[in-house]
Amino acid sequence: MHDKSVAQLGEGLRDKQFSSLELSHCFLDRIARLDGAYNSFISVDEDAVLAAARAADERLAAGTATALTGIPIAHKDIFCTNGMRTSCGSRMLDNFVPPYDATLITKFNRDGAVILGKTNMDEFAMGSSNESSYYGPVRNPWDTTLVPGGSSGGSAAAVAAMLAPAATGTDTGGSIRQPAAFCGITGIKPTYGRVSRLGMIAFASSLDQAGPMARSAEDCALLLNSMAGHDPLDSTSSELATQDYCSQLGDSLQGLRIGLPREYFGEGLAAGTASCIEAALKELEALGATLVDVSLPHSHLSIPTYYVLAPAEASTNLSRFDGVRYGHRCDNPVDLHDLYTRTREEGFGAEVKRRILVGTYALSAGYYDAYYKKAQQVRRLIKQDFTSCFEQVDVIAGPTTPGPAFALGAKSDDPLAMYLEDVYTLAVNLAGLPGMSVPAGFVADKPVGLQLIGPHFAEARLLNVGHRFQQATDWHTRRPASATGEAV
C-alpha cells in the first residue's frame, strides 16, 4: 500500500480493498523501521493516528467520506496541532503544545484525513538544507549523505521514502519547491493568500505560504482542494473563490506559451541540471506547448532583496519568544533583562540568531530607508518583471535549483553559498506568485526539479502542466533504493 498514490489510496479505501486502520498501520510500521536513517519526523502519536483512522473508517462505512478521508498525511511541524507538540524545529518551542489547530489542520480534519505525524524542518523555517533543526539534520532518501533541502526537508524526505503518501510544507523563499526538487517529488507553493496562515508559526509574514507535497501533480491537486480557501480569521487570506484543482489536469497543452527567462539559464546553472531541464522543455514542446524567450531583468536582485525583507519580518515575528508566556524559559533568571537574554540565547540556534540580527539592523533608525525601504522598492520591480512576462506567456519554466542536492555539512559554514541555493525560487515569493517543482530527471542518481511559475491564482494551470508532463514521463515514479531495498 505504501507505494500507491493518494488518488489510488482513496480509490482503494472507497472500494474497501483495505481500511484506513490497515493503511495507517502500514505507514506507522515503515516510520518505525526506516525513519532512523532519515530523521524526517519529530513527533508521531500512534494512538492518535489509530483513533483518527478508526473514525475515518466509520465515515467511509457511512458513505460520508471525502476524497481524503482515511488518507494518512504528514504535517510540517510549523502548523499548530491541538494537544500535539508543535516545535517549529526549535529548542524554543520544544515543550509547546498548542490549545488549537491551524486552519489548514482543521480543514484536513474536516475532510477526514489522518494526521500521521509532524515532520522535521529547519528551525523556524530558516534554511535551505534542513540542517538547522534542533532535532538534527534530515537525510535525503536518495543518498543519506546528502541534504534533502529545506526548510520543508522532513516532509519531502518522508514522501520520497514512502513514509507518508503526502505531506504539507511551507514556502517562504523556495522551501517547498527546493526540497521537492532535491528529493524527487512534486510540490506546489500556491499564490500568497490562497491557503490560510492562521496557526502557521510565522517566519516572514508577507512571504510565507503553505502548500502540498506529494509524488504527483494529481495528488497535490487533491490536497490543495482541501487546503485552499478564504479564512475570515486571516486578514491576508484571499476572498477569491477556489476551484476544483483536479478539473483541468487532463487539459491539452496545445498552444500553451511557456516563457524561458534567459536569466535562469546562464552562469551558475550546473551543466547536468541544465541538460535535464532542456529535455523536459522539449517534452513539453512535444505536448503542444510553445517556448518563448523572456526576460526577468531584476531577478539578480532577488537574493539581496529577500535577505533584507525576510530577516526584517523575522526579527519582528520572533520577538514574541521571550520566555514569558510559553516556550523555553531559562533557569533562575535574576531579572527581566536576564530572562529575555538567556532565554533567547539558549532557545534559538545560530541561523535564527543571524537572521534576527540582520533584520533588526535593517529596521533600525538610520538604516531603515537605506535597506528595508530600498528592498521594498526593488520588490515592486521584481513583481513588475513577472507582470510584463505574463503579458507574453501563460507559464514560466526553468530549473528549481542551480544543481542537485549537496552533501551534508558542505555549506553549513558558508551562509552565502547556502542562500544561493534559492536563487531561482525567491522571486516567486517576493511577487506572491504560485510556483511548482516537478521531477525532471537525474544527475549522477540525484533528482532534478523543473520549476513552473504562473500568474496569481493560476494553480490549476500549473497542476495541469505538471500532470501532463508526468503522464509523458516517469521521473515521478522513481523510488530511492534506501526505501525500497532494491535499485530503481
Where in 309-434 does DSSP place strands (E)?
A: 395-399
Residues in contact with 71: Cβ distance below 8 Å, sequence separation at least 6, in sequence order: 6, 9, 10, 13, 20, 23, 113, 114, 165, 166
Is 319 catalytic? The answer is no
Catalytic residue among 132, 151, 152, 437: 151
Q: Is 54 left (phi over 0), alpha (psi -120 to 50) or beta?
A: alpha
Confirm whether 189 is a catalytic residue.
Answer: no
Q: What is the DSSP letter of 127?
A: -
Q: Are 480 and 488 in contact (CB under 8 A)?
A: yes
Catalytic residue among 76, 118, 189, 446: 76
Dist. CA 23–CA 74, nearest whole Å: 14
Question: What gap in Å lies between CA 90 and CA 352, rounded to an integer?
Answer: 9
Give the per-residue SS3 of 35-91: HHHCCCEEECCHHHHHHHHHHHHHHHHHCCCCCCCCCEEEEECCECECCECCCCCCH
Angle at 6 between CA 424 and CA 27, to 5 degrees: 100
List 129, 175, 299, 437, catalytic entry = 175
Q: 449: part of which helix (H) or strand (E)?
A: strand 446-453
Q: Which three cell numbers stand for residue 350?
A: 545560530
The reply to whether 446 belongs to the active site is no
Per DSSP, which regions of 278-351 are E strands? Answer: 290-294
Query: Cα(82)–Cα(102) distance, rounded to whole angstroms?
Result: 8
Comparing CA positions, the residue from 452, 477, 471 lying closest to residue 187 is 452
At 171, which amino acid appears? D
| DSSP 8-state symbol, 407 | B
How many alpha carbons fall within 13 Å on the CB side of residue 319?
9
**What residues are annotated to the active site?**
76, 151, 175
